[in-house]
């Protein structure tokens, strides 16, 4: 069953208009992005910084309003929800933020932090708070309830952030780089916790990360983003083992391997030159691509299915 | 081969209102000429502090309590600031972590490097300029960019400029402190490639500090694993990966996801790193160690050579 279905999602940020200039300039942060996530699956969204990953994540939880496009969650379109209806719907989708040092209010004790979504929805219930803390491994909950966030370690903070997201029984969770601020030995712990919680509650997760190795470990499917567009998506193992798009190939070839004997072949591509301000019709990756053809300059390639459940947006295929 | 750097029982603490934080404790190792040593560990384990000890760029509240730092056979611990200034940059230089903060935003990048050269070498501005031009070509930057300001550079270019600056006075020894941490995967890969090539080309001796064991695996021929101020294992990269002996090294390796080979489950290290204000008695890793025994609680294991060129601090393996 599809839990999340995103169709032609677009978000433009206007740049400040110059005095006397008529044309408006826009940053195409997310440009015509479509994907689906099945119930109980984790989809990874990967790409370099500035490619639109976090904007997509924020659009899905409606922290930003989309310029156009539809977001269906459980067959309900939430892209145009406003006011009371939106607030009511918010209990179904929750977000885990990147930096637990900033996403927790330093004046709140753990209880207040975790209780907040419940209070906002009028569902306050002490038992739920206890359960949520226990589920994320902060045991016994009594010991943590009255601590401030500065009294917690990085790993514990991120657990509190996860408890806050789960306390309200969401059906869809957006995790925006939840482990990039954590240390190696603690990171593995939090990743395993997220996997266990997914299994336990049959959660649907969008996992935003820049780390392909983490994406491979966590996700069932992966979507690769480049300058606001999804250039490739499909089954996680398939994308890692058999990448099609020149950008995905280059990205994978740049990941260092924790094994001194593994000799990897580097694919050399140039540094990024174009940005997402009023991009021309051509392929966004054109300047850096090693396989560019004439047609790449004229037309943006459509996302086509090159083999089963593997989509790629490149003129080299199809 | 000549020893270029030898550290003997180095101990460094930071004085805080709550007491002494022992950031580097009983560290001994040697680096030979032409070698590249990787120093890997979690944040707060003392990697950067150790690097700063060698540069003697310590903040005012830091004290070197004990030990020797023999650089080219000379102990630099008792040296005055005036004497250190002669060694810095010509003897030991450093590639700093945050390239954005390491450059002065109101001076042209080229001028900053020229200034660094003129401070240490008695040469004319024209000669210095020619030297910087050569350095720019060496690190893969166009010499025309010398007249640009730091904000006109991309992240990767800034890091290249910092590398050029570190090489400016032909140092005998370079410390690279997380030179790629803030960069995107592809740019990170290019910079690593550059550093490895330069190291070979100039036969540089290098210490590469990173939290990412996979980056170290690709750049260095020796690895030192650091935990809570101690170096717990130090040997050749290939030996360490084939035959890791310290429980922390093993744990660190199994908590890293990889894009190579079959998907493996990550095994996190239980617990959190100790508070160095009052580190645990005995071995600092014992509270998290699954092999811990009575003796580990009481005695700090000695750092000994158990095979040729394989140093280890653990009771269990001895």
Q: Across the interface, which of B218, B253, B257 has its CB nearest the CB of A217?
A: B257
**Mean pLDDT calculated for residue range A76-81:** 89
* Predicted confidence (pLDDT) per residue in A237-293, tens digit: 999 999 999 999 999 998 888 888 877 788 888 776 667 788 888 888 888 888 888
Q: Which of B176, B102, B168, B99 is nearest to B136 (CA)?
A: B168
Give the bridge partners for A11, in sequence order. A30
Rg of chain B over CA atoms, in angstroms?
20
Tell me the ipTM for this assembly. Answer: 0.82
Global model pTM greater than 0.80 = yes
Cβ distance of B272 and A153 shorter than 8 Å: yes
Residue boundaries of the structural domains of chain A: 2-312
Structure tokens at A316: 């080299």
**A249–chain B Cβ distance below 8 A for any pair:** no
Structure tokens at A13: 């940020």
Cβ distance of B215 and A256 shorter than 8 Å: yes
Cβ proximity of A100 and A158 under 8 Å: yes
Share of chain A above pLDDT 90, in %: 53
Structure tokens at B5: 């750097």
Confidence at residue B29, expressed as pLDDT on a 0 to 100 scale = 92
Cβ distance of A257 and B241 shorter than 8 Å: no
To the nearest whole angstrom, how far is the Cα of A84 from the nearest Cα of chain B? 40
Cβ proximity of B269 and B253 under 8 Å: no
Alpha carbons A100 and A304: distance in angstroms, whole number: 38
Tokens 């030990």 — which residue?
Answer: B67
What are the pLDDT tens digits along chain B (318 aa)?
688 999 999 999 999 898 888 899 889 999 999 999 999 988 888 888 999 999 888 888 998 998 999 998 889 999 888 888 888 888 899 988 776 678 888 999 999 999 889 988 888 999 999 999 999 988 888 888 899 998 888 888 888 899 999 988 889 899 999 888 778 888 888 888 888 888 888 888 999 999 888 889 989 999 999 999 999 999 999 999 998 999 999 988 888 888 887 888 888 888 788 888 888 888 899 888 888 888 888 888 888 898 888 999 998 876
Under CATH, what is the fold of the domain A2-312? Rossmann fold (3.40.50)
Q: Across the interface, which of A184, A251, A262 has its CB nearest the CB of B186?
A: A251
pLDDT at A227 over 70: yes
Alpha carbons A69 and A80: distance in angstroms, whole number: 9
Residues 6+ apart with CB under 8 A from A96: A158, A161, A162, A165, A173, A174, A175, A176, A178
Measured CA angle at B198 (ends B193, B200), to 5 deg: 100
**A290–chain B Cβ distance below 8 A for any pair:** no
Work out the widest C-alpha separation in chain B, in whole angstroms: 66
Cβ proximity of B131 and B143 under 8 Å: no
Cβ proximity of A305 and A299 under 8 Å: no
pLDDT at A61 over 70: yes
Alpha carbons A11 and A273: distance in angstroms, whole number: 21
Cα end-to-end distance, chain B, whole Å: 28
Mutate to test the interface with A, among B154, B256, B274 (most CBs of A within 10 A): B256
Give the bridge partners for B210, in sequence order. B40
Cα end-to-end distance, chain A, whole Å: 29
Cβ distance of B188 and A49 shorter than 8 Å: no
**Eight-state DSSP code of residue A204:** E
Residue boundaries of the structural domains of chain B: 221-318
Res. A22 pLDDT band, cuts 50 70 90? low
Cβ proximity of A181 and A101 under 8 Å: yes
Tokens 């005036």 — which residue?
Answer: B82
Cβ distance of A254 and B189 shorter than 8 Å: yes
**Mean pLDDT calculated for residue range A36-62:** 92
**A257–chain B Cβ distance below 8 A for any pair:** yes
Confidence at residue B182, expressed as pLDDT on a 0 to 100 scale = 73
Residues of A whose CB is below 8 A from B266: 188, 191-192, 217
Confidence at residue A71, expressed as pLDDT on a 0 to 100 scale = 94
Cβ distance of A256 and B252 shorter than 8 Å: no
CA nearest to B266 within chain A: A188
**Mean pLDDT calculated for residue range A26-52:** 91
Give the bridge partners for B17, in sequence order. none
* Predicted confidence (pLDDT) per residue in A3-13, tens digit: 999 999 999 98
By mean pLDDT, which of A13-22, A173-182, B193-202 is the weakest?
A: A13-22
Confidence at residue A279, expressed as pLDDT on a 0 to 100 scale = 82
The beta strands (E) that lie in A109-213 are given as: 172-176, 204-209
**Mean pLDDT calculated for residue range A103-116:** 93
Cβ proximity of A46 and A233 under 8 Å: no
Q: What is the DSSP track for B111-179?
A: HHHHHHHHHHS---HHHHHHHHHHHHHHTT--GGGGGS-GGGS-HHHHHHHHHHHHHTT--SEEEEEST
Q: What is the DSSP track for A229-297?
A: EEEEEEEHHHHHHS--SHHHHHHHHTS--S-TT--PPPPP-PPP---SBS--SS-TTGGG-SS--HHHH
């Amino acid at each position: 069953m599809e839990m999340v279905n995103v169709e032609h999602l677009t978000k433009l940020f206007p740049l400040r208009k110059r005095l006397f200039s008529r044309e408006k300039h826009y940053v195409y942060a997310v440009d015509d992005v479509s994907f689906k996530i099945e119930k109980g699956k984790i989809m990874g969204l990967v790409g370099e910084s500035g490619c639109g990953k976090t904007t997509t994540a924020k659009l899905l939880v409606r922290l930003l309003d989309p310029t156009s496009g539809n977001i269906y969650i459980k067959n309900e379109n939430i892209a145009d929800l406003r006011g009371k209806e939106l607030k009511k719907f918010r209990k179904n989708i929750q977000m885990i933020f990147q930096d637990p040092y900033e996403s927790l209010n330093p004046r709140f004790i753990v209880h207040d932090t975790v209780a907040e979504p419940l209070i906002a929805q009028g569902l306050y219930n002490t038992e739920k708070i206890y359960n949520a803390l226990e589920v994320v491994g902060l045991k016994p909950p009594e010991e943590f309830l009255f601590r401030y966030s500065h009294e917690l370690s990085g790993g514990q903070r991120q657990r509190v952030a996860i408890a806050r997201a789960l306390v309200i029984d969401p059906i869809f969770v957006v995790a925006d780089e939840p482990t990039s601020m954590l240390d190696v030995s603690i990171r593995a712990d939090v990743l395993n916790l997220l996997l266990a919680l997914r299994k336990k509650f049959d959660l649907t997760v969008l996992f935003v990360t820049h780390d392909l190795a983490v994406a491979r470990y966590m996700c069932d499917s992966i979507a690769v983003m480049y300058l606001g567009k999804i250039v490739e998506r499909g089954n996680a193992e398939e994308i890692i083992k058999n990448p099609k798009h020149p950008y995905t190939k280059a990205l994978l070839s740049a990941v260092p391997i924790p094994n001194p004997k593994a000799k990897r072949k580097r694919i050399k591509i140039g540094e990024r030159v174009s940005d997402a301000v009023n991009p021309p019709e051509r392929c966004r990756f054109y300047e850096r691509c090693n396989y560019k053809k004439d047609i790449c300059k004229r037309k943006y390639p459509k996302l086509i299915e090159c083999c089963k459940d593997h989509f790629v947006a490149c003129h080299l295929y199809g | 081969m000549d020893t270029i750097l030898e550290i003997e029982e180095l101990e460094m603490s930071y004085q805080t209102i709550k007491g002494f934080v022992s950031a580097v404790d009983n560290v001994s190792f040697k680096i030979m000429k032409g070698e590249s040593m990787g120093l890997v560990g979690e944040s707060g384990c003392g990697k950067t502090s150790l690097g700063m000890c060698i540069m003697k760029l310590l903040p005012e509240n830091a004290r070197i309590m004990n030990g020797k730092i023999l650089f080219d056979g000379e102990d630099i611990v008792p040296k005055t600031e005036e004497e250190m200034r002669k060694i810095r940059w010509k003897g030991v230089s450093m590639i700093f972590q945050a390239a954005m903060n390491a450059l002065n935003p109101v001076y042209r990048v080229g001028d900053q490097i020229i200034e660094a050269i003129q401070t240490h070498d008695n040469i004319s501005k024209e000669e210095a300029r020619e030297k910087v031009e050569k350095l720019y070509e060496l690190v893969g930057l166009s010499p025309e960019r010398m007249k640009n300001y730091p904000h006109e550079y991309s992240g990767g270019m800034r890091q290249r400029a910092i590398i050029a600056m570190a090489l400016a006075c032909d140092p005998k020894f370079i410390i690279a402190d997380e030179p790629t941490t803030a960069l995107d995967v592809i740019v990170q890969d290019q910079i690593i490639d550059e550093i490895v090539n330069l190291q070979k080309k100039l036969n540089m001796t290098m210490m590469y500090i990173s939290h990412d064991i996979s980056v170290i695996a690709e750049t260095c021929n020796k690895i030192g694993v650091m935990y809570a101020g101690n170096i717990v294992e130090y040997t050749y990269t290939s030996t360490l990966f084939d035959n890791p002996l310290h429980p922390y090294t093993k744990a660190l390796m199994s908590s890293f996801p990889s894009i190579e080979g079959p998907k493996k489950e990550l095994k996190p290290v239980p617990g959190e790193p100790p508070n160095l204000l009052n580190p645990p008695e005995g071995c600092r890793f014992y509270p998290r160690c699954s092999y811990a025994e009575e003796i580990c609680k009481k005695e700090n294991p000695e750092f000994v050579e158990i095979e040729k060129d394989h140093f280890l601090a653990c009771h269990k393996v001895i």
